[in-house]
Amino acid sequence: MIDLDNSRSINNQLNYLYNLNRLGIKVGLSHTLKLLEICGNPHKNYRSIHVAGTNGKGSTCAMVAEILISAGYKVGVYSSPHLVRFNERIKINNVFIKDDEIALFIKNHKNDIEKIETTFFETTTAMAFKHFAENNIDVAVIETGLGGRLDSTNVISPAMTAITPISLDHREILGPNIETITKEKGGIIKPETPVVLAKQEKVSISILRKISKSKKSKIIYQETPQNIVLSENGTVFEIKSESFKIPLIGHHQAFNAALSIKIIKQFDPKIKSKVIQKGLDKTIWPARLQKLLIKPLIFYDVAHNANGINAMLNSMALLYNCSPLGLIVLKSDKEINLIKEATYGKFGLLIISGSKKHGLLSGTELSKHLSSPKGSNYLVENSLLKALDALEEKSAELNVPGVIFGSHYIAKEVFDKFGFLI
C-alpha cells in the first residue's frame, strides 16, 4: 500500500528544490561553503577527483567511476545536468540517491537554505557531498556544473584535477573568448595538486601551464589513442600498443577514455589494465551517440555546441557512408552561429524543432537562425513529438540513419518514444 501522505511530503520537498531555480545562477563559493559548514563540512571526509572542461566531462567521470568501482572502491559521482530524474545527479556505486533522502535533506536544511539563499545548484552540491559522507564513500568523482573557478563544486580540495577539451560555450557567463573560458576552467587547479590535461588548443595549453606553474601543480598529459576503430557496438583503440575497448561510440570517446585511464594511473598506479578494461566494459553514459532504434537506425546525442556536434558528425561519417538525417533543438543561450556553421550541409535533412516547456526555442524561432536561404534540406516542426515521428519515418523511408541532438532537456520525450529507461 502506498503511503500517500509520505508521497505528498516527498513531492513537496522536491518541488521546493526545483523552485530554487528562480534564484538563477550565482557565481562564487560563499553560499555553498556556508551551507556545507552547517552540514559539518562533509566534503572533507573523503578523497575526490575534480573534472572540468567543455566537452567530455560526463563521459570521463563515468569511465573513471566505473574503473574505481571495479578496483573495489566505493565511489560517489556528482554530475549535471540530469536527463530524466534529478536523482541521476547523485549516485554511489551506480545507485541513485533516493527521493526520501533528497526530501530529508531539504526538510532538515530548509531554514538554512532560505537564510543563506542558496541556489538550486548550490543546494544540490551540498546535498551530494553530505550524502557521500553519510554513506562512507572512498572517493568522489565530481563534475563541475559551469566553468570551474567560481563553480559551487570548487570548494573541495581534491586529490587531483582533470580538464577535458575546452571550447567556446556559455560565453555570456564564462567570458567572450577561449582565453577567458580557459582561465575559468583552469580555476579548479589546486596548489601542489596534480592536474591531468586532455588534448587542448595551443592557447588553452599555454594558459593552463601558467596556472599550474603558479600553483606548483604537476601537469600530466593524457596519451593519444592510436588505431581507433568505431562500430555500432562501441570503440576500440590502443595506448602504447595496449588495446582497450569501450561501449561508447565515437573517435572523441577514445580520447575521453584515454584521459580516464591517465587519471586512474595517476590516482592509483596499482590498478591493472585488466581492471581498467573491466570498468570500461561496464560504462554506461546515455545520450552520447546512443543507439535507440535499429530499424531504422536512430541515435541520440546531447551535443549542444559546435565542437560536440562536430565530434558527433565525424563519428557518424566514420560509421556510415552517407549524410545522416538530423533533428535539432536548442536553448537560446547556445552559440547558434557556430552551430549553424557546424551543421550546414552535413545532413540529408535537418528537422528543426523545439519545446517551450523546456525553455527551448520553438522550431520556427530556431529555423530563423539555422535555415539557409534555399532551405531545401530543412523541415520545421514545432511539435517535438511530431518531429520525432518525422525523423523515424524519413529515416525508414530513405534507409538513412537519423540522430537527435542539441539538448538534455528532451531526454524524457526521446526515451518515452524509443523505450529507453534511466
Identify any residues that bridge with 163 across adjacent strands, giving them in sequence order.
52, 197
Mark whether 361 and 379 lie in a shared domain: yes
Counting the structural domains of the chain, the total is: 2
Mark whether 98 and 186 lie in a shared domain: yes
The CA-atom distances, in angstroms, between 304 and each of 29, 45, 47, 373, 377 are 27, 35, 32, 23, 20
* CATH code of 389's domain: 3.90.190.20
Name the phi and psi angles at 7, rounded to 5. -60, -45
> Which DSSP symbol is given to 250?
S
Pair 129, 153: CB distance under 8 Å: no
Mark whether 313 and 261 lie in a shared domain: no
At 100, the amino acid letter reads D
Q: Domain residues for 81?
A: 4-282
Identify any residues that bridge with 92 across adjacent strands, giving them in sequence order.
76, 95
The CA-atom distances, in angstroms, between 122 and each of 4, 153, 155, 388 are 30, 8, 11, 35
Q: What is the DSSP string of 142-200?
A: EE-SSSSTTSGGGG---SEEEE----S--HHHH-SSHHHHHHHHGGG--TT--EEE---
Contacts of 387 (CB under 8 A, 6+ apart): 327, 351, 353, 363, 381
Cβ burial of 177 (10 Å; 0-12, 13-18, 19+) is exposed
Mark whether 207 and 298 lie in a shared domain: no
* Cell output for 147: 566553468
Mark whether 203 and 344 lie in a shared domain: no
Domain ends where: 250, 282, 314?
282
| Cα distance between residue 325 and residue 309, in whole Å | 14
| Cα distance between residue 161 and residue 240, in whole Å | 23
* Cell output for 66: 566505473
Residue owning grid cell 587542448: 200
* CATH code of 104's domain: 3.40.1190.10
List the pLDDT tens digit at each of the 422 positions of the chain.
334 345 566 777 778 887 886 656 666 799 999 999 999 999 999 999 999 998 899 999 999 999 999 999 999 999 999 999 999 999 999 999 999 999 999 989 999 999 999 999 999 999 999 999 999 999 999 999 888 888 999 999 999 999 999 987 655 566 668 898 899 899 999 999 999 999 998 999 999 999 999 999 999 999 999 999 999 899 999 999 899 999 999 999 999 999 999 999 999 999 999 999 999 999 999 999 999 999 999 999 999 889 899 999 999 999 998 899 999 999 887 788 889 989 988 999 999 999 888 889 999 999 998 876 554 589 999 999 999 999 999 999 999 999 999 999 999 999 999 988 66
| Cα distance between residue 412 and residue 130, in whole Å | 28
Mark whether 257 and 376 lie in a shared domain: no
Q: What is the pLDDT of residue 25?
A: 63
Mark whether 223 and 336 lie in a shared domain: no
Mark whether 203 and 235 lie in a shared domain: yes
Q: Of 338, 282, 333, 290, which Cα lies nearest the Cα of 312?
A: 290
Residue owning grid cell 584515454: 258
Mark whether 90 and 127 lie in a shared domain: yes
Identify any residues that bridge with 270 across adjacent strands, giving them in sequence order.
none
Pair 133, 171: CB distance under 8 Å: no
**What does the angle CA 173 – CA 179 – CA 184 come to, to the nearest 5 degrees?**
50
Domain ends where: 255, 282, 309?
282
Domain ends where: 261, 282, 303?
282
At 196, the amino acid letter reads V
Q: What is the pLDDT of residue 333?
A: 79
Mark whether 158 and 294 lie in a shared domain: no
* Cell output for 341: 556553421
Helix (H) or strand (E) holding 260: helix 251-267
Mark whether 337 and 390 lie in a shared domain: yes
Question: Rg for the chain (alpha carbons), in Å?
Answer: 21
What is the SS3 string spanning 331-392? ECCCCHHHHHHHHCCCCCEEEECCCHHHCECCHHHHHHHHCCCCCCCEEECCCHHHHHHHHH
Mark whether 134 and 66 lie in a shared domain: yes
Q: What is the DSSP string of 7-53?
A: HHHHHHHHHHHHHGGGG----SSHHHHHHHHHTT-GGGSSEEEEEE-
| Cα distance between residue 393 and residue 296, in whole Å | 8
Contacts of 259 (CB under 8 A, 6+ apart): 56, 60, 162, 164, 196, 198, 222
Q: What is the pLDDT of residue 147?
A: 80
